[in-house]
Structure 1
Amino acid sequence: MLCSLPTAEASPSVQVRIADLQKSFGAFKALDHVSLAVSPGELVCLLGPSGCGKTTLLRCIAGLERQNRGTIYLGGRDVSNLPPQARDYGIVFQSYALFPNLNVEQNIGYGLTGSARDIVRQRVGDMLELVGLTGSEKKYPGQLSGGQQQRVALARALAPAPSLLLLDEPMSALDAQVREHLCMELRSLQQRLGITTLMVTHNQEEAMLMADRIAVMNQGCIEQYASPQSIYEHPQTPFVANFVGQGNWLSFEGNGSGHAQVGALQLRLAGGVAPRAAGRLFCRPEAICVNPLQGEENLFAAQMREVTFLGNRCRVSFEFDALPGQSLTAEISASQLPSSGTRNIRVALPPSSLQVFA
C-alpha cells in the first residue's frame, strides 16, 4: 500500500502541498503518512470508500481537524497550525450548511462582512450571475431546489475570492440526472475561474468526469495519484483495480515459458514479459474480444452464460471450455452480440489487456 508519495517543495508551481500527514482518533489511524501535491488551477478528487480518510484529509487542510503530525502548505505558506479563518479557502459542505433564516443574498454575502455595502452588493450580484441564479436574491434556502442550494453554497464559498476551493461530497444529496449536469457546470466554472480545487467524493463517475488528477484512498493511505485515464487503464494496486470500474481476475502460475498458466489455458503477456511464479491477472471487461477475427492472440472457445442489455452495449458473462466453473465478463457493443440462441463463442484476451498483480 502506498502511503507516502514524492511531492515537490513548496513553490509557485505547487498550490497545495501535504507532507507526511498523520491523524488518529484514539486507536483508529485515519491518515497514515499521507503526502500530496496539487498544482495551481488543478482540480483533484480525493476518491475512496467511506472511512478511507478522504474527508479527514480535507478537514485537516481546512483546519477543522488538527493533524497529529505532518505539514500543510497552501500557496507556499505553512498553515499547519493556523486557524481556519487564516487559511484562505472557500468550502462547500455535503449538507450545503446554508443559514435557513438568511435569504440568498445574505447567505452569499456572509463571508464579506466588514466590506462596504456597495462592494458586497456588487460581489453578490457577480456571484449570482456566475452560478446562474440572478433574480433569486430574496429567496430563502427552503424555497430552493437541492441544485439551487448547491449553487448558493458554491457562490458563498467563492465570494471572498479564495485561492483554494474545498468541496466535501457536494453532489451526494442530488439525484443522478441533476448531479451529472451540475458536475459539468461546476467543472466548467472551475476551469473558467482557474481556482485550485480539492473535492471529496466516493463516486468514481464524478471523479472521472471532473478531475485533472485523482488520489485514490484506502485505509488512510493514498494508493494511487494520477490522471483519471491512467488510474483506469493502469491501476497500481488490486484495490484501485477493484474500486475504479469493473474487472476480471484470473489466478495463474508461471510455467517457465514466458506464459501465464491459468488452469488449462496458456496466456501470453504483453512484451513477452515472464510472469511471476504465481499471481493474478486483471482485465477490464471492454478489453475482452468476443468472436474476433482470426489471428487474435490468446483466443479460446467459450460458452455464453448470461447477457445483460445496457442500451447500446451488452454485458456478456461466459466460461472458457478449458476453465469450467469460473465466470468472466466482457462488455461489447450491441451490434457485436452473437445471434439469439448462440452459446458457443470464441473469446480473446489481448496480451496488452492483461495486467499482472502479485
Structure 2
Amino acid sequence: MALSHSVNMQVRNIHKGFGAFKALDGVSLDIAAGELVCLLGPSGCGKTTLLRCIAGLERQDSGSIVIGARDVSELPPQARDYGILFQSYALFPNLTVEQNIGYGLHGDGRATIKARVAEMLELVGLLGSEKKYPGQLSGGQQQRVALARALAPAPSLLLLDEPMSALDARVREHLCGELRELQKRLGITTLMVTHNQDEAMLMADRIAVINHGRVEQYASPQEIYRSPASPFVAEFVGQGNWLPFERSTDGHAQVGDISLRLPTLLSGDARGRLFCRPESVVVNPSVHEDNLFSAQMREMTFLGNRCRLRFELDALPGHSLLAELAPEAMPRLNGADIWVALPPRSLQVFA
C-alpha cells in the first residue's frame, strides 16, 4: 500500500451561510499537488467552515470543490479520499494505539492491516507503543497517533484542523517542524487551519489570510509579511507601525508637522495610512538615511533574540513608533541622542 499520492485541488466561489450570517463569501483557492496551504485568520472568520465544506462535513450553498480530476462538491465525506486530523485528535480511549491507527483499514486482510500499522508507527516515530492506550500518551504522542490514523488509508489529501492548539509552545514548535518534514517527505497535498501566524509562517508554502468569509491575500509567507495586500493582513500578521498621512504639495506624505519621502510620489488628493515593520526602522544609522528624525525612547522590552523599543518622534508627539534591534546593538543607545530613520523603501501606503 502506498503512503500517499499527490493531487491538486481547486476551490471555486464557495458560499456558505448560517441563517443571516455569511460564513463564506465567494472563496476561491488553487492548491498545487504536494503543497501545504494554511488557512489563517481570527476565530469566526470562516476558515474551519471552508475546511468542513472541503471535507463534506458541511454542504456549501454554492460553488465547487475539485480534488484531482474529480468534482467532489456533492459527494459524501467517505467518497472524497482525504485523511483528517481534528483539534481534539478524536482518538478512541478504549482502543490501543494500533487499534486506533488501523480503525479505518477494515476490508484489508489482518496481516496487511498489521503491516500497515507498523509502517505508520515507524513513520511517526512511535514503534513500541502499539499496546498503549491514548490516556497513557503525552499530548504530542496522541497527535502522532491521530496523524498516523489519518495517513493509514493513503489518502490523496490531508486536512488539519488546528492540530497544534492543545500543545504547549515548546512541543508545538517541535511538532510543527516534524509535521512539515513528514509532509514534504510524503508529498501529500495538505490544507491546514490555524489562527497562529507563527505556525502558518513556519509550515506553509502559501497562506490564505481569511477575514469575514473572504480571502484577503493568498501568497507565500514572505510576500504576506513583506507586502501585505490590505490593512487587515498587515495588522494580523506580525507587528507594525501606522502613521496617518495626507499628500503634501510636493507629492510627499505629510504626517503632522513632518514630511516623509516615499518610494514614489503621491498623486491626487491621496490620504490614508503609512505602514512599516518594526525591524525596518533604523535606529542611529551609521550612514545618511532619508526620513531621519530625533526621538525619545519610551520603553524597551527584551525578547531574547531581539529587543523591541518604543519611540516617540520629537516632531510627532503622541505617536508611538516600534523598532526592533538585535541585543548587541543596544549599548550604542546608552546616553546617546537617538535618531530614527524610516527608509522610503520600507513604507507602504494604504490609501
Could you say which TM-score interval applies, normalised by the shorter chain?
Answer: over 0.9
The answer to whether structure 1 residue 20 and structure 2 residue 13 are counterparts is yes
- How far apart in 2 are the matches of 1:113 and 1:168? 25
2:170 alignment partner AA: Q
Contact kept in structure 1, 2:209 and 2:233, CA below 8 Å: yes
Say whether residues 1:289 and 2:282 are aligned partners. Answer: yes
Residue number in structure 2 paired with 1:251: 244
Aligned mates of 2:65, 2:334 — CA distance in 1: 61
> Where does residue 71 of structure 1 map in the other structure?
64
Q: Normalising by the residue count of structure 2, what TM-score does the alignment of the two structures yield?
A: 0.96
Whole-Å separation in 1 of the counterparts to 2:160 and 2:136 = 23
SS of 1:270's partner is coil
Indicate the larger mover: 35-44 or 323-332: 323-332
For residues 329-344 of structure 1, what are the structure 2 equivalents within 5 Å? Answer: 329-339=322-332, 342=335, 344=337
Give the counterpart of 1:208 among 169, 189, 201: 201
- Listed as ranges, the matches of 1:38-187 within 5 Å are 38-187=31-180
Structure 2 SS opposite 1:101: coil
More deviation in 198-207 or 13-22? 13-22
Question: Residue 114 of structure 2 aligns to a residue in which SS?
Answer: helix
Aligned amino acid, residue 181 of structure 1: H
State the alpha-carbon separation in 1 of the partners of residues 282 and 208 from structure 2: 31
Cα deviation, residue 328, structure 1: 0.9
User: What secondary structure does 1:181 align onto?
Assistant: helix
Check the 8 A contact 1:259/1:275 in 2, yes or no.
Answer: no
Aligned to 1:279: 272
In structure 1, the partner of 2:341 is 348
Unaligned residue ranges in structure 2 (runs of 5+): 1-5
Whole-angstrom distance in 2 between the partners of 1:274 and 1:354: 16
Query: Contact conserved, 1:19 with 1:71, CA < 8 A, in 2?
Result: yes
Instruction: Tell me if structure 2 keeps the 8 A contact 1:275–1:356.
Output: no
SS at 2:274 equivalent: strand
Q: Which amino acid aligns with 1:221?
A: R
Q: Residue deviations 1:100-155, cap 9 Å, x none?
A: 11100010001100101111011000000000000100111111110000000000
Q: CA deviation at 1:323?
A: 0.4
2:7–2:189 CA contact under 8 A, matched in 1: no
Shift of the 275–93 alpha-carbon distance from structure 1 to 2, 3 Å rule, reads farther
Cα distance in 1 between the residues matched to 2:227 and 2:74? 37
Quick one: structure 1 residues 350 and 270, their matched pair in 2 at CA, closer, same or farther if it must change by over 3 Å? same
Aligned to 2:212: 219
Question: Structure 2 CA distance, aligned partners of 1:148 and 1:275?
Answer: 59
- Equivalent residue number for residue 23 of structure 2: 30
Query: What SS class does the counterpart of residue 317 from structure 2 fall into?
Result: coil
Q: Any conservation in 2 of the 1:287–1:349 contact (CA below 8 Å)?
A: yes
Q: How does 1:236-247 map to 2 (within 5 A)?
A: 236-247=229-240
Two-structure CA RMSD over aligned residues (Å): 1.5
Q: After the TM superposition, which of the residue ranges 291-300 and 46-55 deviates more from structure 2?
A: 291-300
1:314 and 2:297 correspond? no
The whole-number CA distance in structure 1 between the counterparts of 2:35 and 2:271 is: 40
In the other structure, the counterpart of 1:299 is 292
* Cα distance in 2 for residues equivalent to 1:260 and 1:23: 42
2:321 corresponds to 1:325: no
Higher mean alpha-carbon deviation, 311-320 vs 88-97, is at 311-320
* Alignment-derived partner of residue 3 in structure 2: none
User: Counterparts of 1:292 and 1:276 in 2: how far apart (Å)?
Assistant: 33
2: CA distance between counterparts of 1:199 and 1:75? 18
Aligned-partner Cα distance in 2 for 1:290–1:178: 35
Match of 2:224 in 1: 231
Alpha-carbon offset, residue 341 of structure 1: 5.4
Question: Is residue 41–residue 196 contact of structure 1 (8 Å, CA) maintained in 2?
Answer: yes
Distance in 2 between residues matched to 1:30 and 1:224, nearest whole Å: 17
Q: Which amino acid aligns with 2:15?
A: Q
| Code of the aligned partner of 1:118 | A
Q: Distance in 2 between matches of 1:75 and 1:294?
A: 54
Opposite residue 113 of structure 1, the aligned amino acid is: H
Q: How much does 1:312 deviate?
A: 3.1
* Amino acid paired to 2:135: G
Query: Which residue identity is paired with 1:329?
Result: L
Counterpart of 2:158, as a letter, is L
Give the secondary structure class of the aligned counterpart of 2:144. helix
The CA deviation at 1:283 is: 0.6
Per-residue CA deviation, residues 138-189 of structure 1 (Å, 9 max, x unaligned), is 1111111100000000000000000000000000000000000000000000
Tell me by how many angstroms 1:293 deviates.
1.9
How far does residue 37 in structure 1 lie from its aligned partner after superposition? Answer: 0.7
Cα pair 2:7 2:156 within 8 Å, conserved:
no
**Residues 42 and 195 in structure 1, CA contact (< 8 A), matched pair in contact too:** yes
Structure 1 residues without counterparts, runs of 5 or longer: 1-12
TM-score, with length taken from structure 1: 0.94
The one-letter amino acid of 1:310's match is L
